Homo-oligomer: A and B are copies of this chain.
Amino acid sequence: MQTMDTIRNGVETEQMYGTLDAIKAQPELGIFQFRARNHWIEGAHNRSTIDHFYGAGQEDTSREQPFVIDAGEPAILLGTDTGANPAEYLLHALAACLTTTLVYVAAARKVRLTEVESTLEGDMDVRGALGLSDDVRNGFTQIRATFTVKGDAPPEKLREIIERAQQRSAVFDMVSHGVPVTVDLVDA
């Protein structure tokens, strides 16, 4: 029977242990595929639609409606602020993944959190992306994430949890180490 006791940091820990056991027993349930479809609207304005994904052995169609996410650029970068810019979305992805991983790790370690806040900064010399210099990279040269974490555990334990979150976060891994990306033009 589900009781309040099994919910920690908003995470159903019984369900979490059940999911972990199921994937341990049948490793192929761990295979996931996430997707985004994007279409250009005008200038720096484009929109992604995110809905179904594959996971746990089947196509997951449980989301009742898609997430619709607009991107843009500020005026100085020739847009009209129709959304955060792509580099800012990457910072959001990283902050969100570190935070969720941290919350799940804390739930597994029986730590009740009261606050998790973070600020991320990314430094970029836009001469790279604008094609004005081959001496600077296109993307951020450095990202700094600064966390405030509070809960019913001593600072050392909270520090351990944030370290474990870095070791397990999917987006931290991707942004730190890179991912092979193929880009194909299918229709022109």
Contact = CB atoms under 8 A, between A and B. Distances in A.
Interface of A: 9-12, 15-16, 19-20, 23-24, 27, 30-40, 42-46, 48, 50, 53, 55-56, 60, 62-63, 67, 69, 71, 73-79, 81, 83-101, 103-104, 113, 115-133, 136-150, 155, 158-159, 162, 166, 168-188
A11 B42 CA distance: 8
A126 B183 contact: no
A140 B172 CA distance: 11
Nearest to A67: B84
A92 B74 contact: no
B170 A128 contact: yes
Which of A11, A34, A87, A118 has the most B CB atoms < 10 Å from its CB?
A: A34
A129 B155 CA distance: 24
A175 B10 CA distance: 31
A45 to B, nearest CB: 7
A120 B186 contact: no
A50 B96 CA distance: 13
Nearest to A115: B40
Given A75-B62, A140-B174, A86 B96 contact: yes
A148 B188 contact: yes
A179 B171 CA distance: 12
Contacts of A35: 88, 91, 119-122
